[in-house]
Structure 1
């Protein structure tokens, strides 16, 4: 890609990040849900975590990787609501008259979303360490990287959905409808191996389940497992498809 493309991405990113810095409370609000799960749900896992197949050494080493993926999914999926507000205020209309690449309009926003997600992930991991989590440094770096990848996929899909619906009233129930089975079948809170056979078979078709397992394997230093390979593959595939969809919608919107 040309220098001009990345310059355009930087211009979009800089504008978006300035909007966030004017109200940094949104970064903390975005991380509060997984932090509350960590503080309130983590102690409940302590008596039963040893019964989990392949259980880690403590409940937070099990819970934090799942919460990282949850942070990447849920936080990024709501990125599109801000885009609807920008469309309503005429920002998208103003951008369409510029010679900027339509792909750069999406990538610049994704850069903002990923920067915000990185800050939130570091806060969550730091708090997890403080509460007793243990893990491989390389594995944690891998887990955060995978979280950023799936966060980018969800943010791109959210932006595409936002420009397609142009309505919070339509977008909100669609996201809730998608997120409910994802949360229940991804094993974020409890491993799917604890469920009945039919539920485990259903979870095999949930890409986020493999991503959660991959991040957990990475945290404990198991970097050669099939879970890690499948999770990485699914994260890359979802990212490519979501960015393609988001780019296509931006180009259509600005045609």
Structure 2
């Protein structure tokens, strides 16, 4: 009499969440639509190009200075504008995924909840760098002087700042969920005061005292000033230090709030 030994069951290896690996996977997933349809990246340049083409000539005419000097002041503000408007609206993509049920499917995947936020936030770096370089190259023939080390340092600061703003935008989307009107209402209410009180488009030196006082606590203002210093090749000024502090602080707060919101997401 022979005894049949049952075949051993195949052991299933559980995939454990890993922040670095999962963030990379989410980053690749988020970048694929951008690579497949780069027109969205180009279309998002319309607004900064309008400001560069229509607002800059007004500043040049009013200042009475050479076009190159005025562009040296104005272009860094346009680069920060790209980050402010671009990353500030990215939460709408996550909100769309929540409304269609796509986000709920990713929540049950064997991925770190933190990576779902970090990977999305890192994805914002690529459009920021590409768009900033395009704007600088467009301004170059009109007298804008390119300082390569300063430009590289400025792009790094913009990337850090953009990660923070993008994370805050995702956190807002998680909070408002399917109330799209609320997301855009809060986003628009915050973004325009931050823009105006940063001296991005017009200098605040001639503004009222209260406006200058509020600008001193506006992190966008410090990033704008730091970008102007860096793109001019000035690395040792206090503006660069305060701009770096502001960018890192926004990134830290954004990632903390965003990760907490993603972990609580259901």
TM-score normalised according to structure 2 size: 0.88
Matched, 1:251 2:230: no
Alignment of 1:204-243 (within 5 A): 204-243=216-255
SS at structure 2 position matched to 1:190:
coil
Matched, 1:17 2:28: no
Q: Mean alpha-carbon deviation: is it higher for 120-129 or for 241-250?
A: 120-129
Q: Paired residue for 1:136?
A: 147
Q: Which has the higher helix share?
A: 1
C-alpha distance in 2 between matches for 1:23 and 1:43: 32
Contact 1:160 1:245 in 2 (8 A): yes
Q: Aligned residue pairs: how many?
A: 250
Aligned partner of 2:174 among 139, 160, 163: 163
Q: Paired residue for 1:96?
A: 107
- Deviations 1:48-74, CA, capped at 9 Å, x for gaps: 3367xxx99522111110011111111
Matched, 1:49 2:63: yes
Aligned partner of 1:84 among 73, 77, 95: 95
Q: Paired residue for 2:4?
A: none
Q: Paired residue for 1:174?
A: 186
C-alpha distance in 2 between matches for 1:137 and 1:155: 26
Q: Paired residue for 2:165?
A: 154
Matched, 1:124 2:125: no
Contact 2:67 2:143 in 1 (8 A): no
Matched, 1:36 2:50: yes
- The CA RMSD measured in Å over matched residues stands at 2.0
1:222 CA displacement:
1.5
Distance 1:94 1:214, change over 3 A: same
Bigger-Rg structure (1/2): 2
Contact 1:186 1:210 in 2 (8 A): yes
Alignment of 1:182-201 (within 5 A): 182-201=194-213
C-alpha distance in 2 between matches for 1:159 and 1:199: 29
Q: Paired residue for 1:110?
A: 121
Distance 1:210 1:188, change over 3 A: same
C-alpha distance in 1 between matches for 2:101 and 2:33: 16
C-alpha distance in 1 between matches for 2:181 and 2:88: 15
